[in-house]
């Protein structure tokens, strides 16, 4: 079977998108589910070409391996920038999330280089004055 390199969608396989969406969303935390559903509504309202259950499924399949914190922060940035009103849909949001996910370790390393580590906590030694 051929697999899409961007989203992981397997071409030629029969999918039941609604059941797959339920199973993909069941792995997420409640806050992440709420954020994802709000972005679904706003994208479908503004972009008619991204309307449909298959587009939602392909988006969720593409971000299945990304942690919830990254998904939440990127979707919030997407909504605050109002990119959905400028015509950016699921594919752009998916690429934003995947880019943030892949850049996170390097960002962490650069942040440590720039600011350094916090000092380690020292245990106070009890002095026996006796």
DSSP the chain: -EE-TTT-PEET----HHHHHHHHHHTS-HHHHHHHHHHHHHHHHH-GGG-SHHHHHHHHHHTTTS-HHHHHHHHHHHHHTTGGGGT--HHHHHHHHHHHHHHHHHHHHHHHHHH-PPPPP-PPPPP---
pLDDT given at position 117 = 83
Q: Is the pLDDT of residue 30 over 90?
A: yes
pLDDT given at position 129 = 52
pLDDT given at position 11 = 75
Q: Give per-residue pLDDT as tens, 59-99.
A: 999 999 999 999 999 999 999 999 999 999 999 999 999 99
Q: Is the pLDDT of residue 126 over 70?
A: no
Q: Is the pLDDT of residue 31 over 70?
A: yes
């Amino acid at each position: 079977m051929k697999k899409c390199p961007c989203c992981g969608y397997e071409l030629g396989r029969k999918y039941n998108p609604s059941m797959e969406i339920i199973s993909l969303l069941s792995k997420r935390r409640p806050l992440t589910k709420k954020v994802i559903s709000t972005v679904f509504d706003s994208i479908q309202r503004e972009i008619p070409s991204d309307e449909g259950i298959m587009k939602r499924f392909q988006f969720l399949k593409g971000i299945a391996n990304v942690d919830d914190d990254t998904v939440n922060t990127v979707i919030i940035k997407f909504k605050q920038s109002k990119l959905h009103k400028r015509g950016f849909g699921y594919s752009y949001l998916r690429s934003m999330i995947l880019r943030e996910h892949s850049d996170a370790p390097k960002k962490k390393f650069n942040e440590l280089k720039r600011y350094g580590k916090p000092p380690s906590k020292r245990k106070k030694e009890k002095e026996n004055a006796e």
